[in-house]
Amino acid sequence: MKQSRLIQGNEACALGAVAAGCRFYAGYPITPSSEIAEYMARHLPEEDGVFVQMEDEISSLGAVIGASFAGARAMTATSGPGFSLMQEHIGYAVMAEAPCVIVDVMRAGPSTGRPTSPSQGDVMAARWGTHGDHPAIVLTPASVTEIFELTVRAFELAETLRMPVIVLYDEVLGHTRETVELPPRVEIAGRRTPRVAPTEFRPKEAGPDGVPPLPAFGDGYRFHVTGLTHDERGFPTDEAEVAGRLIRRLHAKVEAHRDDIVEVETLLCDDADIVIFAFGIVARAAKEAVMVARAQGLRVGLLRPRTIWPFPDREVAKITAGASVVLVAEMNLGQVVREVERAVAGNARVEGLFRADGEAIDPEEILQALAPDLEGAAR
Amino acid sequence: MSARLDLRFAGAGGQGIVMAGRVLAEAALRAGRAATHSQAYGPASRGGASRSDVVIADEEVVFPLVRRPRVLVILTAEAHRTYGDDLAPGGTLIVDTEASDGDDGLVLPIVETAARIVGTELASGVVALGALSAAVDDTDLETLEATIADRVPASLRAANLEAFAAGRSMVR
């Protein structure tokens, strides 16, 4: 259904969350994510949901985790400084295996930075911001429509894999208005509940796919929630073997579903001599650069991750196999480029186009960065 | 790739430039075209230069940001300093009288007209839309008026349409 209405990226995020069944939001408003909180505050009560404005971002994610264990699909949204504060509870959600969605609308940092300016500086914070060995799922939409889709997707992954899922996009997308095709209804797979009787239930015992079933608190099943390393009963352990098994299972459940989680989109990569790797708003600039280059007969393509973590290394290796140059364009000083280098493994030259001044990369800059290599890309 | 028309309203918070950009983009959609709207503003709650950008195209808008607007509306001196040089060569410049710096473009009493007719500077964007619709061929008068009528509170509808007409008459 194509609407003749313009929808802002942050509104699409909130619409996606509500469509996916989110009925609990706790947050602390922060530019440039505040419109998500504003929308949820207005519309969650209409859906018999709960909106809570918390005192800070630490408690926000804490409340979200609590609501999740009580059975709700729950979300919070923030930006750089708030995302830093949430890191402790992101780790807690990984360890306790609390399904939840965290949206980070990236602004220029570090610290307070430039609150109203875009960046892509949180890519590694989204992967490694919380301490310890842990898996991460991070989705990177590149349009208002895709913010809706991937917010829905984030809930599905969070609920089915029992873990936090991060939706990561920049201020430009958060505040841009575009026409959006909204599905009439959305249905997603939810969390798996126990099939055994309450007396036989072991809270952290997983099946072959590594995901333990999750009852809602109050359903009559024994409940044990902890950030401590624990055994299958949920009780803290000091046994190395049990500890190792838990950490490996937390990773294995993501790896087992890796091919379902990782999504990329390609544009004219089949014969491309130069492949541009870009995500978020930069992918939109790259798409226009590809169209301009192609109109001049130059073999340039675009590889765009919809999932940035787990990193689509196999896809990058395969799609860039025939290219001689891979240009990584990102609004930071080079966070994703090393991942691309790792995946390309010397089979092509990897170049970077970086910008960290709070301005978006535009198509012209990408074409300029490609200029030295365009001769080789001529047909 | 379809040809695109890039437009920018530049001013300050409280002048209705975001609404003007949204109305322009939504009117383009009603006329069966593609459009996007983007905005930028500073962190200060007062002062500063803001922009409200619209891209109109026949098909999909690939890159939604505006770099060199073909139509540039400027409502404050500070916005003039920040965005005055961005106009594409040969583009259309519309500047408020108070913000003008001896410009070649259309210098019009936009803010003053908004305050006089609607009673608030918030309607400056609507007056600017009127001027823009008369100065730029690529806009559709009926859909613009209908979109304004839908967007503003009923009690201010007549005043806003009058402000829009006043903007048009400044140019014609």
**The three-state (H, E, C) secondary structure of A87-152, written as one string:** HHHHHHHHHHCCCEEEEEEEEECCCCCEEEEECCCCHHHHHHCCCCCCCCCEECCCCHHHHHHHHH
Between CA A249 and CA A124 the distance in angstroms is 23
Between CA B61 and CA B4 the distance in angstroms is 8
Helices (H), chain B: 17-30, 77-83, 110-117, 124-135, 141-151, 157-171
- Torsion, Cα of A340, A342, A346, A349 (10° steps): 20
Average pLDDT per block of 10 residues along chain B, 172 residues long: 85 93 94 93 78 94 96 96 95 95 91 94 95 88 92 92 95 83
Do the domain assignments include residue A234? yes
Q: Quick check: A172 and B36 CB within 8 A?
A: no
Residue at a domain's end among A181, A214, A241: A181
Burial of residue A172, with CB atoms counted within 10 A of its CB: 0-12 exposed, 13-18 middle, 19 or more buried: buried
Average pLDDT score, chain A: 95
Rounded percentage of chain A residues whose pLDDT exceeds 90: 93
User: A153 pLDDT band (50/70/90 cuts)?
Assistant: very high
- Which 282-301 residues of chain A touch chain B by CB within 8 A? 284-285, 287-288, 291-292, 295
Question: Which residue from B1, B36, B42 is facing A176, i.e. has the nearest CB?
Answer: B36
Do the domain assignments include residue A186? no
Question: Which residue from B30, B39, B64 is facing A178, i.e. has the nearest CB?
Answer: B64
User: A1 pLDDT band (50/70/90 cuts)?
Assistant: very low
Do the domain assignments include residue A367? yes
Work out the number of other CB atoms within 10 angstroms of the CB of residue A3: 11
Kindly state the helix (H) or strand (E) to which residue A36 belongs, with its residue range. Answer: helix A34-43
- Does one domain contain both A32 and A175? yes
Residue B1: the pLDDT is 45
Domain housing A314: 264-377
Interface check for A268 against chain B (CB to CB < 8 A): the answer is no
Number of domains in chain A: 3
Contacting residues for B172 by C-beta, under 8 A, at least 6 apart: B134
Q: Which amino acid is at A35?
A: E
Nearest to B45 by CA among B16, B76, B19, B13: B13
- Does one domain contain both A148 and A26? yes
Q: Say which DSSP state A230 is in.
A: B
- Does one domain contain both A221 and A362? no
Determine the average pLDDT of the residues in A132-137.
97
Phi-psi region of A126 (alpha: psi -120 to 50; beta: other; left: phi over 0): alpha
Do the domain assignments include residue A341? yes
Q: Is the CB of residue A30 less than 8 Å from the CB of residue A111?
A: no
Interface check for B38 against chain A (CB to CB < 8 A): the answer is yes
Question: How many Cα atoms within 13 Å fall on the side-chain side of residue A46?
Answer: 8
| CA A225 to centroid of chain Cα atoms | 25
Q: Is the CB of residue A361 less than 8 Å from the CB of residue A355?
A: yes
- Does one domain contain both A49 and A132? yes
Q: Is the CB of residue A42 less than 8 Å from the CB of residue A126?
A: no
Do the domain assignments include residue A191? no
- Which 147-186 residues of chain A touch chain B by CB within 8 A? 172, 175-179
User: Model confidence over A42-75: pLDDT tens digits?
Assistant: 999 999 999 999 999 999 999 999 999 999 999 9
Going along B20-112, which residue ranges are E strands? 34-40, 50-57, 71-74, 92-96, 106-108
Residue at a domain's end among A219, A235, A259: A259
- Does one domain contain both A95 and A149? yes
Rounded percentage of chain A residues whose pLDDT exceeds 70: 99
Nearest to B57 by CA among B135, B145, B143, B138: B138
User: Model confidence over A344-378: pLDDT tens digits?
Assistant: 999 999 999 999 999 999 999 999 999 888 777 77
Q: Quick check: A4 and B43 CB within 8 A?
A: no
- Does one domain contain both A153 and A204? no
CA-nearest residue to B28 within chain A is: A4
Do the domain assignments include residue A189? no
Straight-line distance from the first to the last Cα atom of chain B, in angstroms, rounded to the nearest whole number = 33
- Does one domain contain both A6 and A142? yes
Between CA A111 and CA A83 the distance in angstroms is 11
**CATH number of the domain encompassing residue A121:** 3.40.50.970
Determine the average pLDDT of the residues in A231-251.
96
Determine the average pLDDT of the residues in A255-274.
97
CA distance, residue A117 to nearest chain B CA (Å): 8
- Does one domain contain both A244 and A143? no
**Which residues in chain A are contacts of B35 at CB distance < 8 A?**
6, 179
Q: Is the CB of residue A298 less than 8 Å from the CB of residue A378?
A: yes
**Which residues in chain A are contacts of B40 at CB distance < 8 A?**
116-117, 175
Phi-psi region of A48 (alpha: psi -120 to 50; beta: other; left: phi over 0): left
Residue at a domain's end among A132, A154, A181: A181
- Does one domain contain both A327 and A346? yes
Phi-psi region of A132 (alpha: psi -120 to 50; beta: other; left: phi over 0): left
What distances in angstroms separate CA A72 from CA A194, B26, B93, B102, one per listed residue? 16, 36, 53, 61
DSSP string, A302-313: EEEESEEES--H
Interface check for B1 against chain A (CB to CB < 8 A): the answer is yes
Give all domains of chain B, ordered by start, each with its CATH number: 4-171 (3.40.920.10)
| CA A251 to centroid of chain Cα atoms | 17
**Which residues in chain A are contacts of B58 at CB distance < 8 A?**
none
In which residue are the tokens 């090393």 written? A338
**Which residues in chain A are contacts of B29 at CB distance < 8 A?**
4-6, 179
Residue B45: the pLDDT is 66
Residue A28: the pLDDT is 98
Determine the average pLDDT of the residues in A6-26.
97
- Does one domain contain both A281 and A313? yes
Question: Which residue from A116, A284, A295 is facing B62, i.e. has the nearest CB?
Answer: A284
Q: Which two tokens stand for residue A155?
A: 């809930």
Q: Which of A202-211, A327-336, B100-109 has the highest mean pLDDT?
A: A327-336
In the predicted structure, residue A379 carries a pLDDT above the cut 70: no
Work out the number of other CB atoms within 10 angstroms of the CB of residue A154: 30
**Which residues in chain A are contacts of B67 at CB distance < 8 A?**
362, 364
| CA B56 to centroid of chain Cα atoms | 13
- Does one domain contain both A269 and A237? no
Q: Which amino acid is at A49?
A: G
Contacting residues for A349 by C-beta, under 8 A, at least 6 apart: A324, A325, A326
Kindly state the helix (H) or strand (E) to which residue A315 belongs, with its residue range. Answer: helix A313-319
In residues, how long is chain B? 172
Q: Is the CB of residue B54 less than 8 Å from the CB of residue B87?
A: no
Do the domain assignments include residue A190? no
- Does one domain contain both A75 and A25? yes
**CATH number of the domain encompassing residue A274:** 3.40.50.920
Residue B42: the pLDDT is 81
In the predicted structure, residue A141 carries a pLDDT above the cut 90: yes
